[in-house]
């Protein structure tokens, strides 16, 4: 924590001098050679590694081998094949012939890497197949020993228990926040109505932090690459992943792999940005596969990203870290992680495919293809099994304007929202195609709203459940409808449960355990919140967190966090609520950027065991009710002690006032011309007019 203390000293000095560190360009500060001002960099150990590779300055040069050996008169013809500036071809001084290789210098290392990828293995003729390497690689090759030596045996040392936080005796959850230059991990101590600090660090990340999907690691992003942190009692750096200028990261669902992304501007402004994507093994830090190319190659599909590239570029599927896929032009490229190569060594060809998504639990891809040929070939949604690439189900759709796919978290259902043109083509209406994935032949139902012209504002499945919610209609007060895929009356048919009329909501947030949902009005709705019980179809509470930008349930479904991030300049911070809408505590933070609950891994309990616990909940809850009672009494005693302290402080001030009042008694009596009494009612008030000349000006007329 020494570095944290140093940064705190810097913050204190900056505040004393009136300097806003957020406005300082730290990259522009040049320190004297060898001076670090006592601040040890996280990357100091990079220079201490024995096997650390240091750039030689020739990273923008490639070596092309297996060229024809030709005399000088044929140089021009051979150079015409290569067609590159910065070309240098060595010559044998005795024969005046080329030596069968050349060097090509590019403006940037990225351009050199791209040239290597595109030309390595190029077949000039039968006898000459180009072998292209980076100039810097030759130094590595020369260090390889001539004789193999067995690796040094290292004794096994058990690592830290990275899941120790799950054994918290109070069964609390953790969350991470970023505000200003600080990143903090805290316990949600709802019993004591406040957060409890776990770990705090200044300048921990240069852009954002991200939990891994099972909560084992906290990832940070830096100019040199990414890093993951964790530990039994604190946060130690467990592994680093070298990727200069990394912008985005993404974990595989099982935390085995980390995907990193960077984009580099080309030297020629007419060229597209150069994209580099690495897939690392999280535990070893080894690059399992990299993908490089222009931004145009990665710009197909997706909902967000940077520089025109969709993110995540690769989508993980199959319920495990077994497959990942990328959308391309007229194809979906599906890779398996055993060899990190394409399944069957070829992509899934689908003409004009627009989007795809994975089942959360099974190796099934749903894909959408829009209409072709001016409507002669209908749009369609298909379900494809991986790795066989067998089509399990297909549904043709007509007059389609747009289509979005929503998987239920257990992979039991798929909802396809379809926007269709009316006959006049001047407007659209919306319906849903509902797939029952786990049932025989995958039956499909069509659902239309009571008013099919209603605009769909939001859609959300109940986690692990069979219900879904839809916000539909016109702002500022749309309707919210709840549906079930199975009820006692209609086990195999979708049916509507209820419609809530005129709600100030534009976002839906289900509890991770189902049953409860927060109907939220964010952005233009100023943070309206309604806590709703879908089992009982009743509102538990309504509240407001003014200007709220984010709503997030904790992984157990017991608490809800609402936050106002630095999108707004005022009221930055977060509130913690109970599941039924009671405000537990509020924390204000200037320049508030992020709030993220720490995810929990799936329970090891079987569904039968969970059902048994639910039936006997009263028996298990007695222990926790007693603990809650103790905490409540403790809080009450603390509150009483606080009131006693305030009362004593007040009485002390009154006593001091009386003492001063008595000491000044004679002085007051003198000011009253000898009158002894301090009681106001014993005096008669008289108004006395006093005239006072403020200024005299003499004017002289000419």
Q: What is the pLDDT, as a whole number, of residue 110?
A: 77
Phi, psi dihedral angles at 106 (to 5 degrees): -115, 170
Please state, in angstroms and as integers, the Cα–Cα distance from residue 421 to each residue in 93, 185, 446, following that order.
75, 49, 16
CA–CA separation, 507 vs 545, rounded Å?
14
Write down the residue that tokens 């399992």 correspond to: 288
Closest-CA residue to 134 (of 75, 61, 192) = 61
Mean pLDDT throughout 60-88?
83
pLDDT in tens, 559-618: 999 999 988 888 899 999 999 999 999 999 999 999 999 999 998 888 888 888 888 887
How far is it, in rounded angstroms, from Cα 217 to Cα 200? 16
SS (HEC) of 448-469: ECCCCCCCEEEEEECCCCCEEE
Residues 400, 418: contact at Cβ < 8 Å?
Answer: yes
239-272 tens-digit pLDDT: 999 999 999 999 999 999 999 999 887 777 777 7
Average pLDDT over residues 7-22: 66
The pLDDT, as a whole number, for residue 376 is: 80
Asked if the model's pLDDT at residue 302 lies above 80, the reply is no
Determine how many CB atoms are found less than 10 A away from the CB of residue 195: 21
Q: Point out the least confidently predicted range of 482-491, 493-502, 509-518, 626-635.
A: 626-635
The whole-number pLDDT of residue 131 equals: 92
User: What is the distance between the alpha carbons of residues 294 and 277, in angstroms, rounded to a whole number?
Assistant: 11
Comparing 31 with 181, which gets the higher pLDDT? 181
Across 95-109, 212-226, 377-391, least confident range: 95-109
Cβ neighbour number for residue 157 with a 10 Å cutoff: 5
Give the Cα separation of 669 and 676 in Å (integer). 5
**What does DSSP assign to residue 403?**
E
Per-residue confidence at 44, pLDDT binned at 50, 70, 90?
very low
DSSP label at residue 554:
-
Highest mean pLDDT among 64-78, 138-152, 248-262: 248-262
| CB 411 within 8 Å of CB 360 | yes
Model confidence at 682, pLDDT cuts 50, 70, 90, reads low
The DSSP secondary-structure symbol of 373 reads: G
Distance, in Å, from the CA atom of 573 to the CA atom of 538, rounded to the nearest integer, reads 29
- 650-659 pLDDT, tens digit each: 999 999 998 8
Give backbone dihedrals phi and psi of 612, rounded to 5 degrees, phi first: -65, -40
**The pLDDT of residue 182:** 95
From start to end of 386-449, where are the E strands? Answer: 390-397, 400-407, 413-421, 428-436, 444-448
Higher pLDDT, residue 19 or 256: 256
CB 360 within 8 A of CB 433: no
**Confidence label for 53 from pLDDT (cuts 50, 70 and 90):** very low
- Confidence class for position 28, pLDDT limits 50, 70, 90: low
Which of 23-32, 62-71, 418-427 comes out lowest in average pLDDT?
A: 23-32
Query: Residue 108's closest CA among 241, 246, 259, 273?
Result: 273
Residue 247: what pLDDT? 93
Question: How many whole angstroms separate alpha carbon 218 and alpha carbon 211?
Answer: 5
Tell me the β-bridge partners of 480.
471, 500
What is the tens place of the pLDDT at every residue in 179-209?
A: 999 999 999 998 889 999 999 999 999 999 9
Q: Is 701 exposed, middle or buried (0-12, 13-18, 19+ CB in 10 A)?
A: exposed
Q: Is the pLDDT of residue 36 over 60?
A: no
71-80, 297-306, 401-410, 484-493, range with the lowest pLDDT: 297-306
Burial 393-422 (b: 16+ CB within 10 A, else e): bebebebbbebebbbbbbbbbbbbbbbbee
Q: What is the pLDDT of residue 26?
A: 58
**Band of residue 54 on the pLDDT scale cut at 50, 70, 90:** very low
> What average pLDDT does this structure show over 33-57?
48
What is the Cα–Cα distance from 522 to 544, expressed in whole angstroms? 10
| Segment 690-699 mean pLDDT | 77
The residue length of the chain stands at: 702
pLDDT of residue 397: 93
Closest CA to 343 of 374, 365, 310, 371: 365
> pLDDT grade, residue 522 (50/70/90)?
very high
pLDDT of res. 35: 56
- What is the rounded end-to-end Cα distance, in angstroms, of the chain? 85
Peptide bond before residue 387 is cis, with ω within 30 degrees of 0:
yes
Average pLDDT over residues 513-536: 93
- What is the C-alpha to C-alpha distance for residues 382 and 365, in angstroms, rounded to an integer? 8
Burial call 433-462: b when 16+ CB within 10 Å, e when fewer: bbbbbeeeebeeeebebeeeebebbbbbbb
Count the Cβ atoms, other than its own, within 10 Å of residue 611: 11
- Rounded to the nearest 5 percent, the helix, strand and coil shares of the chain are 20, 35, 45
Torsion sign over Cα 145, 291, 406, 207? positive
Instruction: Look at the alpha carbons of 335, 341, 347, 352 in this order and tell me if their dihedral is positive or negative.
Output: positive
Output the average pLDDT for the chain: 86
Q: Residue 83's pLDDT band (boundaries 50, 70, 90)?
A: low
CB of 263 within 8 A of CB of 273?
yes
pLDDT number for residue 1 = 43
Kindly tell me if the per-residue pLDDT of 142 is higher than 80: yes
| Integer Cα distance of 32 and 493 in angstroms | 74
Query: Are the CB atoms for 483 and 468 separated by under 8 Å?
Result: yes
Comparing CA positions, the residue from 456, 454, 464 lying closest to residue 408 is 464
* pLDDT exceeds 60 at position 333: yes
> In the beta sheet, which residues pair with residue 508?
519
HSE-up (13 A, CA, CB side) for residue 324:
23
- Residue 465 corresponds to which tokens in the numbers above? 């459940």
Read out DSSP for 241-276?
A: EE-TT--EEEE-TTSSEEEEEEEE--SSTTSPPEEE
Distance CA 366, CA 433 (A): 13
Whether residue 628 is predicted with pLDDT greater than 90 in this model: the reply is: no
- pLDDT: is 605 or 5 the higher one? 605
Please determine, for residue 432, whether its predicted confidence score (pLDDT) is greater than 70: yes
Distance in angstroms (rounded) separating the CA atoms of residues 417 and 430: 7
pLDDT score recorded for residue 518:
97
CA distances from 214 to 166, 178, 236, 555, 600 (A): 11, 20, 18, 10, 5
Residue 681 has what pLDDT?
A: 64
Note the Cα 211 to chain centre separation in Å: 8
């Amino acid at each position: 924590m020494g570095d944290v203390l140093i940064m705190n000293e810097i913050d204190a000095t900056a505040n004393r001098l009136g300097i806003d560190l957020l406005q300082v360009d730290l990259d522009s500060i040049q320190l004297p050679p060898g001076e670090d001002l006592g601040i040890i960099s996280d990357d100091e150990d990079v220079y201490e590694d024995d096997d650390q590779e240091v750039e030689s300055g020739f990273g923008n040069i490639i070596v092309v081998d297996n060229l024809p050996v030709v005399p000088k008169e044929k140089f021009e013809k051979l150079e015409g094949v290569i067609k590159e500036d910065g070309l240098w071809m060595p010559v044998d001084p005795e024969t005046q012939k080329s030596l069968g290789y050349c060097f090509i210098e590019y403006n940037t290392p990225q351009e050199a890497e791209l040239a290597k990828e595109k030309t390595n293995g190029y077949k000039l003729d039968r006898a000459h197949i180009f072998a292209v390497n980076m100039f810097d690689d030759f130094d590595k090759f020369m260090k390889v020993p001539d004789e193999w030596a067995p690796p040094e045996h290292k004794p096994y040392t058990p690592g830290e228990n990275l899941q120790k936080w799950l054994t918290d005796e109070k069964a609390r959850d953790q969350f991470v926040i970023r505000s200003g230059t600080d990143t903090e991990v805290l316990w949600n101590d709802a019993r004591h109505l406040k957060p409890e600090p776990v770990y705090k660090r200044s300048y921990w990340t240069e852009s954002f932090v991200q939990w891994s999907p099972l909560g084992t690691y906290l990832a940070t992003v830096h100019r040199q690459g990414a890093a993951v942190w964790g530990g039994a009692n604190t946060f130690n750096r467990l592994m680093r992943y070298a990727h200069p200028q990394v912008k985005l990261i993404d974990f595989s669902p099982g935390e085995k792999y980390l995907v990193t992304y960077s984009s580099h501007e080309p030297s020629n402004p007419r060229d597209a940005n150069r994209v580099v994507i690495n897939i690392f093994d999280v535990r070893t830090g080894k690059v399992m596969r990299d993908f490089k190319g222009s931004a145009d190659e990665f710009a197909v599909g997706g909902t967000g990203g940077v520089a025109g590239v969709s993110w995540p570029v690769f989508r993980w599927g199959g319920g495990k870290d077994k497959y990942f896929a990328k959308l391309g032009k007229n194809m979906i490229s599906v890779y398996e992680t055993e060899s990190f190569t394409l399944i069957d060594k070829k992509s899934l060809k689908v003409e004009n495919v627009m989007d795809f998504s994975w089942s959360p639990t099974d190796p099934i891809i749903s894909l959408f293809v829009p209409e072709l040929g001016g409507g002669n070939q209908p749009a369609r949604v298909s379900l494809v099994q991986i790795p066989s690439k067998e089509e399990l189900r297909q549904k043709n759709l007509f007059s389609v304007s747009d289509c979005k796919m929503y998987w239920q978290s257990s992979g039991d259902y798929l909802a396809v929202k379809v926007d269709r043109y009316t006959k006049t083509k001047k407007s659209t209406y919306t319906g849903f195609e509902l797939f029952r994935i786990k049932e025989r032949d995958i039956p499909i139902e069509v659902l239309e709203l009571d008013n099919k012209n209603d605009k769909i504002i939001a859609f959300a499945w109940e986690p692990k459940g069979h219900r879904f919610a839809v916000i539909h209609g016109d702002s500022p007060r749309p309707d919210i409808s709840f549906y079930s895929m199975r009820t006692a009356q209609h086990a195999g048919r979708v049916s509507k449960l209820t419609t809530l009329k005129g709600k100030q909501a534009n976002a839906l947030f289900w509890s991770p355990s189902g049953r409860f949902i927060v109907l939220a009005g964010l952005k233009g709705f100023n943070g309206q919140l309604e806590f709703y019980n879908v089992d009982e179809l009743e509102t538990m509470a309504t509240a407001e967190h003014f200007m709220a930008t984010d709503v997030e349930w904790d992984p157990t479904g017991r608490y809800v966090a609402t936050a106002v991030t630095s999108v707004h300049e005022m009221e930055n911070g977060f509130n913690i609520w109970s599941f039924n809408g009671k405000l537990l505590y509020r924390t204000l933070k200037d320049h508030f950027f992020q709030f993220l609950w720490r995810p929990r891994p799936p329970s090891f309990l079987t569904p039968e065991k969970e059902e048994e616990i639910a039936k006997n909940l009263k028996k298990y809850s007695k222990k926790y009710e007693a603990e809650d009672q103790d905490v409540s009494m403790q809080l009450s005693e603390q509150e009483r002690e606080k009131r006693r302290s305030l009362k004593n402080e007040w009485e002390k001030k009154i006593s001091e006032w009386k003492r001063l009042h008595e000491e000044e008694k004679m002085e007051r009596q003198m000011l009253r011309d000898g009158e002894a009494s301090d009681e106001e009612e014993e005096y008669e008030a008289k108004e006395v007019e006093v005239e006072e000349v403020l200024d005299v000006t003499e004017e002289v007329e000419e």
